[in-house]
Structure 1
Amino acid sequence: MFRTRLLWFSIGFASASAAITQFIVKDLWVDRTSISSKLKENFDSLDSRISNLESVISSKPTSPQDEGNLT
Protein backbone atom coordinates (compact mmCIF):
# COMPACT_ATOMS: atom_id res chain seq x y z
CA MET A 1 0.00 0.00 0.00
CA PHE A 2 2.75 2.43 0.97
CA ARG A 3 4.78 1.52 -2.11
CA THR A 4 1.80 2.12 -4.39
CA ARG A 5 1.19 5.56 -2.88
CA LEU A 6 4.87 6.40 -3.16
CA LEU A 7 4.89 5.27 -6.79
CA TRP A 8 1.83 7.40 -7.69
CA PHE A 9 3.24 10.38 -5.80
CA SER A 10 6.53 10.02 -7.68
CA ILE A 11 4.76 9.79 -11.03
CA GLY A 12 2.61 12.84 -10.26
CA PHE A 13 5.57 14.83 -8.98
CA ALA A 14 7.65 13.94 -12.04
CA SER A 15 4.88 14.88 -14.48
CA ALA A 16 4.22 18.19 -12.69
CA SER A 17 7.94 18.96 -12.71
CA ALA A 18 8.15 18.16 -16.41
CA ALA A 19 5.20 20.44 -17.21
CA ILE A 20 6.66 23.33 -15.19
CA THR A 21 10.06 22.84 -16.80
CA GLN A 22 8.48 22.84 -20.26
CA PHE A 23 6.70 26.15 -19.57
CA ILE A 24 9.88 27.75 -18.21
CA VAL A 25 12.02 26.58 -21.13
CA LYS A 26 9.38 27.71 -23.64
CA ASP A 27 9.19 31.15 -22.01
CA LEU A 28 12.96 31.52 -21.99
CA TRP A 29 13.16 30.45 -25.65
CA VAL A 30 10.52 33.01 -26.66
CA ASP A 31 12.43 35.75 -24.80
CA ARG A 32 15.69 34.75 -26.47
CA THR A 33 14.08 34.73 -29.91
CA SER A 34 12.46 38.10 -29.27
CA ILE A 35 15.72 39.69 -28.14
CA SER A 36 17.57 38.18 -31.09
CA SER A 37 15.06 39.47 -33.65
CA LYS A 38 14.97 42.92 -32.03
CA LEU A 39 18.77 43.10 -32.11
CA LYS A 40 18.83 42.04 -35.77
CA GLU A 41 16.21 44.66 -36.61
CA ASN A 42 18.24 47.38 -34.85
CA PHE A 43 21.45 46.40 -36.62
CA ASP A 44 19.69 46.33 -40.00
CA SER A 45 18.34 49.81 -39.33
CA LEU A 46 21.80 51.02 -38.33
CA ASP A 47 23.31 49.46 -41.45
CA SER A 48 20.82 51.24 -43.71
CA ARG A 49 21.51 54.56 -41.97
CA ILE A 50 25.24 54.14 -42.43
CA SER A 51 24.76 53.23 -46.09
CA ASN A 52 22.64 56.34 -46.60
CA LEU A 53 25.25 58.53 -44.91
CA GLU A 54 28.03 57.01 -47.00
CA SER A 55 26.10 57.62 -50.22
CA VAL A 56 25.38 61.23 -49.22
CA ILE A 57 29.03 61.85 -48.36
CA SER A 58 30.32 60.26 -51.57
CA SER A 59 27.86 62.18 -53.77
CA LYS A 60 28.64 65.53 -52.17
CA PRO A 61 31.02 67.59 -54.30
CA THR A 62 34.03 68.83 -52.38
CA SER A 63 35.46 72.26 -52.93
CA PRO A 64 39.22 72.84 -52.87
CA GLN A 65 38.86 74.56 -49.50
CA ASP A 66 37.25 71.53 -47.85
CA GLU A 67 39.75 68.93 -49.08
CA GLY A 68 42.14 69.72 -46.25
CA ASN A 69 39.38 69.16 -43.65
CA LEU A 70 38.38 65.67 -44.81
CA THR A 71 39.80 62.77 -42.85
Structure 2
Amino acid sequence: MRKERGYSQDHLAYSIPIDRAHVGLIENGKSAASIITLVKFAIALECEVGDLFPYVEDLRPYADWLEE
Protein backbone atom coordinates (compact mmCIF):
# COMPACT_ATOMS: atom_id res chain seq x y z
CA MET A 1 0.00 0.00 0.00
CA ARG A 2 2.84 2.37 0.86
CA LYS A 3 4.51 1.79 -2.49
CA GLU A 4 1.19 2.13 -4.34
CA ARG A 5 0.83 5.57 -2.78
CA GLY A 6 4.39 6.47 -3.78
CA TYR A 7 5.55 6.98 -0.20
CA SER A 8 9.04 6.15 0.99
CA GLN A 9 9.52 4.46 4.35
CA ASP A 10 10.93 7.78 5.56
CA HIS A 11 7.81 9.67 4.45
CA LEU A 12 5.46 7.17 6.12
CA ALA A 13 7.53 7.03 9.31
CA TYR A 14 7.66 10.82 9.54
CA SER A 15 3.91 11.18 9.07
CA ILE A 16 3.01 8.78 11.88
CA PRO A 17 5.66 9.40 13.58
CA ILE A 18 7.72 6.25 14.20
CA ASP A 19 11.28 5.27 13.40
CA ARG A 20 11.89 4.45 9.73
CA ALA A 21 13.68 1.24 10.71
CA HIS A 22 10.54 0.12 12.54
CA VAL A 23 8.49 0.60 9.36
CA GLY A 24 10.94 -1.68 7.56
CA LEU A 25 10.76 -4.33 10.27
CA ILE A 26 6.97 -4.33 10.15
CA GLU A 27 6.89 -4.51 6.35
CA ASN A 28 9.33 -7.45 6.37
CA GLY A 29 7.42 -9.35 9.05
CA LYS A 30 10.24 -9.09 11.56
CA SER A 31 8.22 -6.99 14.00
CA ALA A 32 4.52 -6.98 14.81
CA ALA A 33 2.63 -3.71 14.59
CA SER A 34 0.26 -2.75 17.37
CA ILE A 35 -3.35 -2.00 16.54
CA ILE A 36 -2.66 1.68 17.14
CA THR A 37 0.26 1.61 14.69
CA LEU A 38 -1.92 -0.11 12.07
CA VAL A 39 -4.55 2.58 12.52
CA LYS A 40 -1.87 5.26 12.10
CA PHE A 41 -0.62 3.53 8.93
CA ALA A 42 -4.15 3.43 7.54
CA ILE A 43 -4.76 7.10 8.29
CA ALA A 44 -1.42 8.12 6.76
CA LEU A 45 -2.05 5.96 3.68
CA GLU A 46 -5.71 7.00 3.41
CA CYS A 47 -7.01 3.45 3.42
CA GLU A 48 -8.83 1.00 5.67
CA VAL A 49 -6.84 -1.07 8.17
CA GLY A 50 -8.05 -4.22 6.38
CA ASP A 51 -6.42 -3.00 3.16
CA LEU A 52 -3.03 -3.49 4.83
CA PHE A 53 -3.52 -7.27 4.96
CA PRO A 54 -3.52 -9.88 2.19
CA TYR A 55 -6.67 -11.84 1.39
CA VAL A 56 -7.14 -15.01 3.44
CA GLU A 57 -6.96 -17.14 0.30
CA ASP A 58 -3.50 -15.73 -0.43
CA LEU A 59 -2.36 -16.81 3.04
CA ARG A 60 -3.70 -20.37 2.79
CA PRO A 61 -0.37 -21.81 1.50
CA TYR A 62 1.27 -20.68 4.74
CA ALA A 63 -1.34 -22.38 6.94
CA ASP A 64 0.51 -25.68 7.37
CA TRP A 65 -1.62 -26.51 10.39
CA LEU A 66 -4.53 -27.18 8.00
CA GLU A 67 -2.77 -30.30 6.77
CA GLU A 68 -2.72 -32.04 10.17
Name the TM tier (shorter chain): under 0.3
Using the size of structure 2 for normalisation, the TM-score is 0.22
Q: Which has the higher contact order (CA 8 A, sep 6+)?
A: 2
Using the size of structure 1 for normalisation, the TM-score is 0.21
From the two aligned structures, give the one with the greater helix fraction: 1
